[in-house]
């Protein structure tokens, strides 16, 4: 084999091995890297109180109320909803219908006490007028189909 051909061969074999290794470790990580749970999962499986985890879903319409610095709202995935309380400043994107992720734990009463609330946004960008026009014509795809 010519040395040039041999070096090409070595590089290709090396890349194959490395990508296989990375692929396997990603696959393994995928099982572990459970980023957030849905309200349905919590409702169905039941979750011990006091254990920290993340919950994600959409802020239910008309569920947001605040008392002093404590905001109470419900997060839904369509099938089930979970009540969340939060006593810090919410991100600016937080609003009804918005996808959010909260980190915290369930208390004895089954309410999720959040220590951190993060807002998720979708991949669509448009000016407000265009969004309004889409909403009027009924072509607006609401947030959270993927979240």
Partner 1 sequence: MHRFANPTRFLRLAAAVLPFSAAVAALCLGAGLVWGLFFAPPDYQQGDTVRIMFIHVPAAMMAMGVYAGMAISSAIALIWRHAIADLIAKASAPIGATFCFICLLTGSLWGKPMWGTWWVWDARLTSMLIMLFIYLGYMALWQAFDDQTKAARAAAILALVGAINLPVIKFSVEWWNTLHQPASLITMDGPKIHSSLLWPLLLMIVGFGAYYLTVLIFRVRAEVHQRRTRMLRMAQADRHAAMQAAE
Give the single-character DSSP code of 37.
Answer: B
Between 35 and 108, whose beta carbon lies closer to partner 1? 35
Taking Cα atoms as reference points, which of 66, 54, 43, 57 lies closest to residue 105?
Answer: 54
Q: What's the token pair of residue 3?
A: 């040395």
130 binds partner 1 per the rule CB under 8 A: yes
Per the listing, tokens 């915290």 go with 104
Q: Is 116 one of the binding residues for partner 1 (CB under 8 A)?
A: yes
Q: CA torsion 4→6→12→17, rounded to 10°?
A: -150
Which of 129, 138, 139, 142 binds partner 1 (CB under 8 A)? It is: 129
* 30 near partner 1, rule: CB under 8 A: yes
> Residue numbers of the site for partner 1 (CB under 8 A)?
4, 7-8, 11, 14-15, 18-19, 22, 26, 30, 33, 35-36, 56, 90-94, 101, 116-132, 146-147
């Amino acid at each position: 084999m010519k040395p040039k051909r041999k070096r090409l061969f070595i590089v290709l074999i090396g890349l194959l091995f490395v990508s296989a290794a990375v692929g396997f470790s990603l696959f393994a990580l995928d099982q572990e890297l459970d980023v957030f749970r849905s309200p349905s999962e919590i409702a169905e499986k039941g979750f011990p109180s006091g254990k920290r985890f993340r919950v994600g879903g959409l802020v239910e319409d008309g569920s947001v109320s605040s008392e002093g610095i404590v905001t109470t709202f419900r997060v839904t995935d369509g099938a089930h909803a979970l009540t969340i309380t939060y006593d810090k400043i919410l991100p600016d994107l937080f609003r009804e219908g918005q996808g959010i992720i909260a980190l915290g734990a369930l208390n004895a009463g089954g309410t999720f006490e959040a220590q951190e609330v993060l807002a998720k946004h979708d991949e669509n960008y448009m000016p407000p007028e265009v969004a309004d026009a889409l909403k009027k014509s009924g072509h607006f795809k609401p947030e959270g189909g993927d979240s």
